A and B are shown apart, each in its own frame.
Chain A
Amino acid sequence: MQKLNIFNGKVNLSRYGLYLVFAIIVLFFCFTNPNFLTYSNFMLILQQMAPFGVAAIGMIFVLILGGIDISVGRVMFISGVVVGEIMMHLPEGLYNSPWLFFIAYGVAILVGAVFGLINGVLVTKLNIFPFMATLVIGYIARGLGLTIAGLTKYDVRALGVISNSRIFGIPVAFLIFIVLAVIMNFVLRMTKFGKQTMAIGNNKSAAQQIGINVDKHIIIVYVLCSVFAAIGGLLSAGQISEVYTTFGENNEFQIISAAVIGGASMFGGKGNILPGAIIGVLLIQVVLNGLGMMNASVYIYSVVRGLIIFFAVAVDCINFKGELR
């Protein structure tokens, strides 16, 4: 079913309309709180957004294919638990050596890859709707994680070195996010894999016609998405310095809306990493940061999250011609 992604002014106008609304909100914050616009606050926002940014990169790839991945938040949780479990049993020598980071991130990537593979196979071979498949895998991931963890609180303070430290004032986590974003932007824009992802998202049957192995490609993209979610998860665990039962819960809402605000469309074929991923995550984090500084009431947060994701996607669906699902 080829979706009519007609490139017309109306959608573009509303996309910039969304950015305009955000600009107004930011201005409002600047007036209400003097040190909103300070250098340190901006660095804080960059540090806070890094984990979600990394996960948003993977999510944009999946959205470009026209799929979705609801299990990201819970894959973050289980990779945090597995890494915590392993760090608890690491021998002393290894624990303080720089090897710790390779092991930790290696294990996280492995766990992410496993869940990404299962997602990919369910979506392609069993052609289950991406939402349902990843929802089920999300529950399995969380159930498995909690079964392994039980009540234990994993102390991952050692990972904090990466997540919290700063080089000349720039948070390391943000640098990691930028490096990964540049690499993946290069992959999307400059390599065959990226071009074929855009092609499959735009017109799946034509892609099959010219001989692209579409199923294998989709599985790789889902693996990629879960791997980036796992990396983001570890960065966030390092910041909190503890992995506990509610870690990673409901992160998927923020990641999906970040990817969509960044220009990725729910119906495939559109999306970019470098300006998109950064804009998406930055805007959401700025709004939440501004609310925090304004000492907004407790209830506003989930209302704002709900509205952000609603309007971000509504803008994108204006001229969708396909079936009402």
Chain B
Amino acid sequence: MERTENKSLKIRVMLDKGRRLVMDYPIIFFVFVVFLFGILFVPYFTTSYNMKNLCLQLCDLLIIACGYTFIELNAGTDLSATSVLCVSSVLGGWIMALSPLAAYPVLATIAGIATMLLIGLLFGVINGFSVVRLKMPSFIVTMATMLVGQAFATWFAQVVFGKNSIGGLPQPFLVLGGSGKYFLVPVVISLVMFFLADFILRRTKLGRDIYCVGTNPNASYISGINVKRTVFIMFVLCGLFAAVEGIVLTARNMAAMSTLGSTMFLNIVSAVVVGGTSVSGGFGGVKQTLLGSVFIVILNNAMNLVGVEWQTIMLVQGLAILLATIIDFMLKRARYTTRRRLAE
């Protein structure tokens, strides 16, 4: 009896492993489907220009989506990520183009990048402090910082630039945007940020804490994990990643703009949620977000090429998020039931 019992257990475990792979990465199926759809039906989809295009758009979305993943792992939200983009772009642009430093391009670039990162840090600290110390729900805090941030960016642009955006950014800075022969620079930056986020999440103590706090904050607190510090660092990381995104986008557009990234929030949320980071925290990771970003970028690009109006794209993305959350719920229940059967 012992042997057969052992064999059937082994089969069940193998079956469960196969099911688990699909469960962990349901997004693979969707990416494949939408990619196939692109190749077969969408004209010009597979031209090399479009592929380069897709890559650049993927880099744009990936950096800030990785930052947002940190927040989503604790089932929080960060609406102010987009206003980090415009505030950092405007202030960075001012330093690089109009301030006395503008005469020395390299120095101006370094100062510009430093200020932009500082802005991201500042937003992260304000959000983190309010959520952790004042114990406010994260979406209210980030909603307030978003409104104030946008107002500041528009005001600063009008008062200092006199118009919405200014060009004249130093050449070393524009390299970051991947213009001309420096095509690979933003790709490298986004991959570096992706592997940095992946490294933090999977290899460091902070990453373990983030997953524990996201799943069960009580148990984590009792196990000695500093819950408050972990949540605070999550918001700071999201702010920094948003700042890096601001740098890449400003360089890509070769202009410091006060309206940078105003419609990106839907793309960010759909990339993270559709990717597979569960809405209730604790599950998911940056790799799922990478796959989610690929899915969203291909979806948008395909719909653009087919000529779908922009409002229907918003509708389709909304439905995609809804579908992802429903699947996440069913998987969680399925994962629970298969385990129950295994246990009996």
Contacts and interface: CB of A to CB of B under 8 A. Distances in A.
Interface stretch (A144-152, A158-166, A220-228): A144-152
Given A266-B137, A309-B140, A150 B280 contact: no
A144 B322 CA distance: 14
Given A136-B321, A325-B74, A325-B138, A146 B311 contact: yes
B325 A132 contact: yes
Nearest to B310: A146
A65 B151 CA distance: 33
B280 A303 contact: no
Interface stretch (A95-103, A123-131, A176-184): A123-131
Contacts of A307: 144, 148
Contacts of A204: none
Interface in B280-327: 280, 309, 311-319, 321-322, 325-326
Interface string B130-158: 11101111111101111110111011001
A313 interface: yes
Contacts of A126: 325-326, 329
Given A146-B311, A302-B150, A136 B318 contact: yes
Interface residues of A, number: 44
Interface stretch (A5-13, A190-198, A278-286, A316-324): A316-324
Contacts of A132: 77, 273, 279, 325
B315 A143 contact: yes
A42 interface: no
Contacts of B141: 310
Interface in A215-272: 253, 256, 266
A299 B155 CA distance: 6
B130 A325 contact: no
B76 interface: yes
Nearest to A316: B136
Contacts, number: 132
A210 interface: no
A114 B314 CA distance: 19
B21 to A, nearest CB: 24
B147 to A, nearest CB: 3
A291 interface: no
A274 interface: no
Interface string A133-159: 101110110111111001000000000
A309 B143 contact: yes
A131 B137 CA distance: 10
A136 B325 contact: yes
Contact of A144 (B76, B130, B269, B315): B315
Of A299, A305, A306, A324, chain B has the most CB atoms within 10 Å of the CB of: A324
A24 interface: no
B118 interface: no
A256 B141 CA distance: 13
A167 interface: no
Nearest to A140: B318
B236 interface: no
Of B137, B152, B155, B231, chain A has the most CB atoms within 10 Å of the CB of: B137
Contacts of B151: 299-303, 306
Contacts of B312: 143, 147
A320 B77 CA distance: 19
A324 B218 CA distance: 11
A317 B309 CA distance: 42
A310 B140 contact: yes
A302 B231 CA distance: 28
Nearest to B128: A324
A301 B135 CA distance: 26
Interface string B103-146: 00000000000000000000000000011101111111101111
Contact of A306 (B74, B131, B147, B313): B147
The 10 A-B residue pairs whose C-beta atoms are closest, nearest first, are: A143-B315, A146-B311, A306-B147, A310-B144, A140-B318, A139-B318, A143-B314, A299-B155, A306-B148, A306-B144
11 contacts: A122-B325, A128-B325, A129-B75, A131-B77, A133-B325, A143-B311, A143-B312, A146-B311, A256-B140, A306-B144, A306-B148
Given A145-B311, A299-B155, A302-B151, 11 more contacts: A70-B139, A136-B318, A139-B315, A146-B309, A147-B311, A302-B147, A302-B148, A302-B150, A303-B151, A313-B136, A318-B134
